Amino acid sequence: MPETNQADMEILQEFLAESRENMNEMECDLLAWEKQAVTREALDRIFRAVHTLKGTCGFLGYPRLETIAHQAENLLSQIRDRKITASAMAVTVLLKVVDSVRRLLVHIEQTGTEGEGNDTILLSELSALLNAETSETVAHNDIAGDDQTFSGGTESTIRVDVALLDRLMNLVGELVLARNQLARVTGGQNGSPLAGTSQRLSHITSELQQSVMKTRLQPIGNIWSKFPRLVRDAAMAEDKKIRLFMTGQQTETDKSIIEAVKDPLTHLVRNCITHGIEKPEKRRAAGKPEEGVVTIRSYHEGGQVIIEVSDDGAGIPTDLIREAAIRRRDITPEQAEAMGEHDLQQLIFLPGFSTAKEVTKLSGRGVGMDVVKTNLERIHGSIAVISRRGEGTLFKMKIPLTLTIIPALMVKSGGQRFAIPQVTLVELVRLNRETNDGQVESLFGAPVYRLRGKLLPLINLREELGLEADSNLGNSLANSTHIVVLQADGGSFGLVVDEVQDIEEIVVKPLSKHLKVVHQFSGATIMGDGRVALILDVLSIAQQLHLGAGQEARLVAAEATKTTTPVADPGEELLLFEIGNKGRMAMKLSDVTRLEEFPVAEIENEGAGEVIQYDGHVMPLVPLRQLLLPGQQESVARESHDKLQVIVHAHNGSYYGLCVDQILDITRQPLALQHRQSRPGILGSAIIQRRVTEVVDVAGLVTLSRQRPSGVVPLAEGIES
């Protein structure tokens, strides 16, 4: 009888779900009990959970569960009637009951039976408590509050199948499309009854969309409920004293995302306990309270959900990291020298990174961090770490609110449209073939591009997907190369596409199982015109490149994390460049509009100054070397370079081209200036990448160049900046 089986399955599923929830709740209550006297209400809740379990198991025929529940209920009823004093022992045994029940539930879910085995130890522990006449003394051994009646309360929630919600979501998405099409038709007819109706339909649709989306949201606290227990057990095993703070349990996000962050989050919390928090004696020696604190915080920010896991432990030992990274040849000793604390800490996310010299069961901090990172990237999230020696470590995870609606960059290749999730996007580079500004080079047939001095491996999307060239491409498009710089799998790479379009919010839909052999796509979406577009699986494309494997790629990876993961104390992003001999300087990246390269032949003279045509405007050139290193001759450099490196700066609606000899790097660090304003055009000096570097005052330089007799003539007309 298939119907009966179906019904049975449903009952079983409901039983499993309900029992799990009950056990979670019971565990929380028990842990609270350990800390302070149990309230009558909490005790009733625990009692009810066990009682329900017993009843249902009797009905469904699970004798092992029934017996355990029965004994636990006996114990609880004795405690409730104050015949037995609630002891710490009782709580521990009741926690064991929770564990056993969970184990059996898993077994039932997998096999449909409770399986073989016996629970004599647990049962004897329970009966020992029941028979114990003596009252052990513990700190909180009494029941607080007065007798209260069972408060049942009416049900205000119902269980709904997730598949049904998905279907609703699909239909609403389709309704939105139909609404958009209708709005286009009625757009021109102001005042007509149809326009009014269409507008009302539009409002209702939007509201419906939001409500349906909300049904899939769950408070993130649902997966936190297990952490108090986890922290308690892990702290005990490690002989550490740890208090857990959790705030923001009510922060809501999509159910599927909650499931996906469960493991990474657990890993981070464990990491904080085993590697972050020190042993009590060590903490005392360091002048810290013996009890360490692990904090989990969650909140909404900029349309994303942020989860922070932090501890007040020893911080990440950067010297060990440096050592291990050099040993693993992730970086050279020279590079290690130049890297700041923050940069070194990011290395823990490299694949397989560990500070332990040998692989042991208790290996060093950082084990599995790459897995955490990959898992988060899979759901379009990201992670960053900030750590201070002796003060603690903070992991900050950013996850999207929903997997179903994401911003994506639309591109075209071979005449087909594809969506690239925006989270993987770093920057866009356009190379014009005619003006030959930078080119794609080839290394044994593998195309690469020099992006600010680093080699960026390139993949042509058309070749990757085996598409024909699009003959309908316009001239301007065909003549330029569009590189979409993407970051995934701990590395970055450039995807060459035919055409870059807009960033749009797309509704992600899964691909059917028929297409699981095609790893290049993570899903599909329906565009405004009703056509289907495929979503590129950037992670999978990157993985097949083995970006994480090569040493160079790792460095690019370190570079990428450095420049693209803003953290709570991010410092200032700085552009490093060189003028003249050893004239290493920096400027704030916020002053930089673009980096350009011009052939020297394009320089023209206007009045007393040099200018260059840029984007249809006349851009005055600011010769940094003349202004800052008056001793050195400009012309020498000109002869040796046939290209001019220019930092474009927009100021008061005009563009200015600051001429430098070489762009070195972009870095992020707190800017602590010394020797402030030692001379005009200089803000001061700072130690950047372990070298004393002068930080230029861009606005001051622009003014300076205008004051000089050979200075730049400001433009009369405004230029959009």
Partner 1 sequence: MSRQLCTFNVGEHLFGVDVLTVQEVLRRQEMTPVPRAPEVVRGLINLRGQILTALDLRRRLNLPAAPAEAEHMNIIVQAPDGSVSLLVDQVGDVMTVQDEFLEPSPATLGSDLREMITGVYKMKDKLLLILNVASATDISELASPERN
**Using CB under 8 A as the criterion, which residues of the chain lie in contact with partner 1 when the complex forms?**
170-171, 173-174, 177, 414, 416, 465-467, 509-515, 517-518, 520-521, 524, 526, 530-534
Per residue, the 3-state secondary structure of 161-172, as one string, reads CHHHHHHHHHHH
- Helix, strand, coil % in the chain, rounded to nearest 5: 40, 30, 30
Per residue, the 3-state secondary structure of 604-667, as one string, reads EEECCEEEEEECCEEEEEEEHHHHHCCCCCHHHHHHHCCEEEEEEEEECCEEEEEEECEEEEEE
Nearer residue to partner 1 within complex by CB, 529 or 642: 529
Among 547, 351, 540, 559, smallest CA distance to 446 is for 547
One-letter amino acid of 389: R
Supply the minimum distance, in Å, between the C-beta of residue 167 and partner 1: 9
Supply the minimum distance, in Å, between the C-beta of residue 465 and partner 1: 4
Tell me how far apart the alpha carbons of residues 256 and 260 are, in angstroms, rounded to a whole number: 6
Nearer residue to partner 1 within complex by CB, 193 or 466: 466
Q: Is 373 exposed, middle or buried (0-12, 13-18, 19+ CB in 10 A)?
A: buried
Nearer residue to partner 1 within complex by CB, 225 or 540: 540
Q: How many Cα atoms sit within 13 Å of 37 on the Cβ side?
A: 11
Supply the minimum distance, in Å, between the C-beta of residue 14 and partner 1: 25
Nearer residue to partner 1 within complex by CB, 174 or 319: 174
Supply the minimum distance, in Å, between the C-beta of residue 404 and partner 1: 12
Nearer residue to partner 1 within complex by CB, 168 or 455: 168
Alpha helices in 350-458 (DSSP H): 369-378
Supply the minimum distance, in Å, between the C-beta of residue 351 and partner 1: 24
Among 232, 229, 221, 310, smallest CA distance to 269 is for 310
Supply the minimum distance, in Å, between the C-beta of residue 294 and partner 1: 43
Nearer residue to partner 1 within complex by CB, 530 or 670: 530
Supply the minimum distance, in Å, between the C-beta of residue 204 and partner 1: 17
Count the neighbouring beta carbons within 10 Å of the beta carbon of residue 287: 7
Order the strands of the 572-579 sheet from edge to edge. 662-669, 572-579, 583-588, 691-696, 682-688
Nearer residue to partner 1 within complex by CB, 294 or 506: 506
Nearer residue to partner 1 within complex by CB, 161 or 552: 161
Nearer residue to partner 1 within complex by CB, 299 or 521: 521
Among 95, 96, 21, smallest CA distance to 52 is for 21
List C-alpha distances in Å: 160 to 18, 223, 405.
13, 19, 22
Supply the minimum distance, in Å, between the C-beta of residue 536 and partner 1: 11
Supply the minimum distance, in Å, between the C-beta of residue 573 and partner 1: 38
Listed in sequence order, the residues at least 6 apart from 310 whose beta carbon sits closer than 8 Å to its beta carbon are 272, 294, 295, 297, 392, 393, 394, 395
Nearer residue to partner 1 within complex by CB, 385 or 486: 486
Listed in sequence order, the residues at least 6 apart from 686 whose beta carbon sits closer than 8 Å to its beta carbon are 586, 671, 672, 673, 674, 692, 693, 695
Tell me how far apart the alpha carbons of residues 412 and 462 are, in angstroms, rounded to a whole number: 9
Supply the minimum distance, in Å, between the C-beta of residue 177 and partner 1: 7
